[in-house]
């Protein structure tokens, strides 16, 4: 069974979703960063906010890896490298 067409369609749908999700994640990240910069009463809470920022960064990195793999999937499907 040749699944290339279905995989390409699903990859396109996934990329669109990732872009939408990435925009929302960026908005949330900026809000947490602003809170951290405004926090002046508790260094421990400021550190917790920084940890949340770091977690957002890791999510974005994972999204970038997934987007790259989806591009490679598309290239492989077009070159008929997937069996």
pLDDT band at 60 (very low <50, low <70, confident <90, very high): very high
pLDDT value for 43? 96
Contact yes or no for 25/58 (Cβ under 8 A): no
List Cβ neighbours of 70 (8 Å cut-off, separation of 6 or more).
Answer: 11, 14, 15
User: Does position 83 have pLDDT exceeding 90, yes or no?
Assistant: no
Ranges of each domain in the chain: 4-78
pTM of the model: 0.82
Contact yes or no for 35/51 (Cβ under 8 A): no
Tell me the CB-side half-sphere exposure of residue 3, using CA atoms within 13 A: 6
pLDDT band at 77 (very low <50, low <70, confident <90, very high): confident
pLDDT tens for each residue of 7-24: 999 999 999 999 999 999
């Amino acid at each position: 069974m040749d699944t290339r067409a279905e995989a390409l369609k699903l990859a396109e749908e996934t990329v669109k979703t990732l872009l939408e999700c990435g925009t929302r994640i960026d908005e949330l990240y900026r809000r947490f960063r602003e809170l951290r910069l405004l926090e002046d009463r508790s260094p421990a809470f400021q550190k917790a906010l920084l940890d949340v920022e770091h977690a957002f960064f890791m999510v974005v990195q994972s999204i970038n890896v997934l987007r790259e793999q989806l591009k490679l999937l598309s290239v492989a499907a077009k070159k008929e490298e997937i069996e």
